[in-house]
Amino acid sequence: MKILWLKDSLCSKQALTGGKAANLSLLAKNYPIPPGFCITTAAFEAAQTAGLDLDHLSLTRDDFPQDLYDQIAGAYQKLDETCGTNPLRVAVRSSAADEDGDQASFAGQHETYLNVLGIEALAVSILRCWASAFSEQAMAYRRSQGYQMERIHIGVLVQQMVPADVSLVLFSANPLNHNPNQMVINASWGLGESVVSGSVTPDVYVLDKSSRLDKSSTTILEKTISHKTEMTIQTDQGTQSVKVPRMLQQRACLDDDQVKQVAELGKALETEMGWPVDIECAFYSNQLYLLQCRPITTLGKKGILS
């Protein structure tokens, strides 16, 4: 199986698609996740067997076995038809079989390419995702976390691009004071890169989730509107970091209803997964999209909180 689509039952097998893609696939039926497919760890292995040399990439289709390239092109075409947006822009993320576990998040260790347009650019992004798993930085991280170094299983997730108006990270348990009854949301303008990479001080919301499940019950305990000076925007091909206009720098990028909507998503995912979650999501045209869901690793073993 070289290509698996989100929602396919096989796609939620972590060994085949990596932690990121597997988690999303599992959730794709019931949660607002952008459609997409995964180039499996098996496809990566087959490519290596067929002679893929990550140290000497030409960054063209010639790096791929012919049949894999055709399948990727076919899947991209099909995703284009599904989305009906012409031209189709995608987000390409590496999804390692041992990442997004409860021990280590691998957050930021593997590459993500946003706003990728066209099959040629997609092919290059996939090659770079593969190569990033072997970067010095990623290898050092693996070594430090005690992961195996010999065989690295890496999948690549390709999803319809969400041109985020606001990007957010939610922790369904407070990672600072370890309070399981509190959730924390970080939010900032534009694509997720500036929130995830920490280049911007985001707006921070601390929420009380101890109350009942009905929507009105989420209470905002703290709201800190920060001075958000940078944001990541889409360019013709790729992304760019730009200055946030002064007028919007100190404006809250979420309204209270949106905060509660995100909180409900966090609560539901924690219940669904059975562990406190660390999620990335985005608002685009007032729609909330889930982009990533993984356990909160800094809290320790999942048993501790429950």
Partner 1 sequence: MSAHYDAWQEGDFIVNVSEPKPLPVPPDFPVVWDLPEDQMLFWEIDGVHAAGPTPLLVQYFANFLSNGFVQAAKDYQMPVSWKKKFIHHYEYTAMLPSVPLEQMEAQTMRALDEFGAAMPTLKQDWEQKYLPEIQDCLAFWESFNLAEAKMPALLDHFEATLKRYERLWHIHFLIVFPMYVSMSQFDELYQDLFGEENALDAYKLLQGFDNKTLESDRALWTLSQQALKNATLKTLIEIHQPTQLMAALKQQPEALAFLNDFNGFLDQYGQRANMWGLNEVSWIEDPAPPLQTLKEYVLEPPVDPTLEMRRLAQQRDEAIAKAQAKLQGYPQPVQDEFNALLAIAQSASVLSEDHGFWIDFRCNYKVRCVIMELARRFAEAGVIETPQNIFHLSLEQIRQTAQRGPVSGKPLEQAEKALFETCAAMTPPPALGSLPPGPPPQDPISRTFAKFFGVPVNQEPPTPEAKSILGHPGSAGTVRGPARVILSLQDAHKLKEGDILVTPTTAPPWTPLFATAAAVVTDAGGVLCHCAVVAREYGIPAVVGTRHATAIFKDGQLLEVNGNTGRVDIV
Cα(82)–Cα(38) distance, integer angstroms: 15
Q: What are phi and psi of 300, to 5 degrees?
A: 95, -160
Which residue in the block uniquely carries the two structure tokens 């992961």? 147
Question: Is 20 or 228 the residue whose CB approaches partner 1 more closely?
Answer: 228
Least spacing, CB of residue 113 vs partner 1, in Å: 15
Sequence-ordered strand ranges (E) for the chain: 3-5, 36-39, 89-96, 112-117, 154-160, 166-171, 182-189, 203-208, 219-224, 230-234, 239-243, 277-284, 287-295
Which residue in the block uniquely carries the two structure tokens 């990533």? 292
Question: Is 12 or 258 the residue whose CB approaches partner 1 more closely?
Answer: 258
What part of residues 178-207 is at the interface with partner 1 (CB under 8 A)? Answer: 189-190
DSSP 122-180: HHHHHHHHHHHTTSHHHHHHHHHHT--SS---EEEEEEE----SEEEEEESS-TTT--T
Least spacing, CB of residue 190 vs partner 1, in Å: 5
- For residues 279 and 264, the answer to whether their CB atoms sit within 8 Å is no
Contact string 110-149 vs partner 1 (x = CB under 8 A): -----x----------------------------------
What part of residues 56-95 is at the interface with partner 1 (CB under 8 A)? Answer: none
Question: Is 144 or 285 the residue whose CB approaches partner 1 more closely?
Answer: 285
Q: Which position among 253, 262, 281, 288 is part of the footprint of partner 1 (CB under 8 A)?
A: 253
Cα(272)–Cα(266) distance, integer angstroms: 10
Question: Is 214 or 255 the residue whose CB approaches partner 1 more closely?
Answer: 255
Q: Which position among 245, 256, 257, 287 is part of the footprint of partner 1 (CB under 8 A)?
A: 245
The interface region with partner 1, picked from 59-67, 73-81, 104-112, 161-169 by CB under 8 A, is 161-169
Least spacing, CB of residue 69 vs partner 1, in Å: 28
Question: Is 38 or 116 the residue whose CB approaches partner 1 more closely?
Answer: 116
Hey, what are 18's tokens?
């990596």
For residue 245, whether the previous peptide bond is cis, meaning omega lies within 30 degrees of 0, is: no
Binding footprint of partner 1 on the chain (CB under 8 A): 115, 163-166, 189-190, 231, 233-236, 240, 243-248, 253, 284-285
